[in-house]
Amino acid sequence: VAFTDSSEEFRGETLYYHEKVSEVGTELDVAWAVTKGQLFLSSRKLLLQESVALAIDSDIAQSFAAQESFKTVQSQLDRSDMMLFINVAPLLPAVDAICQAASEAGTGAQLGINMTDLPRVLGLDALRSVAISLSLKPNVTLIDFGLFYTEKKGLLKLLAYGTEAYPQPKFVPQNAISVGSSRFSFPKMWAAAEELLTGISPALMAMATAQFQQFLLSAGVEEGVDLRKNLINNLGQELISFSLPGDEAGEAPAGLGNPTVMALSVTDSTGFQVGLDELKLVLSSITKVNPQVAFTFGQMDYQGTTIHNIGFAGAGDFKIHYTVKNGYFVLSIGSYSALTETILAMTSPKKS
Smallest CA-to-CA distance from 307 within 282, 275, 283, 341 is with: 341
pTM, full prediction: 0.78
Q: What percent helix, strand, coil does the chain show, rounded to 5?
A: 40, 30, 30
pLDDT band at 12 (very low <50, low <70, confident <90, very high): very high
Name the β-bridge partners of 242: 179, 261
| pLDDT higher than 80, residue 61 | no
Query: Distance of alpha carbon 315 from its chain centroid, rounded?
Result: 27
pLDDT at 250: 46
Q: Where are the beta strands (DSSP E) in 213-351?
A: 235-243, 260-266, 295-302, 305-312, 319-325, 328-333
How far apart (Å, rounded) are the C-alpha atoms in residues 291 and 59? 70
CA angle 336, 338, 344 (to 5 degrees): 105
Tell me: the pLDDT tens digits for 271-313?
999 999 988 888 888 887 777 888 899 999 999 999 999 998 8
How far apart (Å, rounded) are the C-alpha atoms in residues 212 and 204? 12
| pLDDT higher than 60, residue 142 | yes
| pLDDT higher than 50, residue 40 | yes
pLDDT at 349: 63
